[in-house]
Amino acid sequence: MSGDFFRPGHSFLHRFDPRAKLLLLVPLFICFFLPVPPLVLAPFAAALVIVIATALGPRELLPPLEAMAPVLVFICLLTPPFHRGGTDVLTLFGIVLLTSDGARETLILLLRFLGVTFGFFAVVRTVSLDDLVLSLRWFGLPYAFCLVVIVTLRTMPSLASTWHNVLDAHRLRAGPPATRGRKKIVDTYLPVLTSLLIEAVKGIPVLAMALESRGFGRRNPRTVYAVLKQGRRLVVDMAVCMLLGFLFISPALVRW
């Protein structure tokens, strides 16, 4: 339970109120899922890339791209065959592989997935889990839901870290590979998956104690030690959020 998506910093994205950032995700996601052309979606996706690169650094663009790479590849491979309208763009031995409609739909899906991924990544990367839970509670969401969110966001990077540690440990003990092909893959990853499963089972009591210490399942009123900042900064950030939300939605609605 030691992993965390949050990266401490002092950028303008970190200083922006977490409640305003969560609220800003709503019009941003609505914009990406409206039936609009790629020319409307592309500027918003490019703006998210610029914001992340400016606030967190260009290298921070790689983790979400690596995580989304299989999905993006499947979109590029599976979308064009189901959209055959328009003019032919790419043919091979008389077989039409890509049409203008297929290219358009593929580009729209790519921009949607990238936009949603980068938007969510920009928030969870710059908001601590404590502030995230407090912000969700500020919006009136139930504590059980907030606890599920924080446990998920802590467990995923923890399992990824455990996977790499176990894989490195097995590589140090395995020596040179004795088999090739599919049997080599099974012999390599089956012990790693077994060790990862054992580590996950061992972590169940720790997770149970963490839930109990946080009062999960109790019905009495909860108290908190940490509170979110109030005052002028919140008002300013919310005003900026509303302005940006309007800028997100208005071009999409006009084209729609």
Of residues 230 and 223, the one with the higher pLDDT is 230
Predicted confidence at residue 118, as pLDDT, reads 92
Q: What is the mean pLDDT of residues 162-170?
A: 77
Question: What average pLDDT does range 103-130 have in this prediction?
Answer: 90
- Residues with Cβ within 8 Å of 194's Cβ and at least 6 positions away in sequence, in order, are none
Choice between 161 and 14, residue whose per-residue pLDDT is larger: 14
Measured distance CA(127)–CA(15) in Å, rounded: 9
- d(CA 19, CA 21) in angstroms, rounded, equals 5
CA angle 117, 120, 121 (to 5 degrees): 80
The pLDDT tens digits for 131-161 are 888 888 888 888 778 877 877 777 777 777 7
Question: Does residue 2 carry a pLDDT above 60?
Answer: no
Residue 185 has a pLDDT of 65
Q: Which helix (H) or strand (E) holds 229?
A: none
Are residues 80 and 96 in contact, defined by beta-carbon separation less than 8 angstroms? no
Distance CA 1, CA 157 (A): 8
What pLDDT digit, counting tens, does each position of 195-221 carry? 878 877 877 787 777 777 777 777 777
Determine the pLDDT at residue 110: 92
Query: pLDDT tier at 111 (50, 70, 90 boundaries)?
Result: very high
For residues 211 and 2, the model is more confident at: 211
Q: Is the pTM of this model over 0.85?
A: no
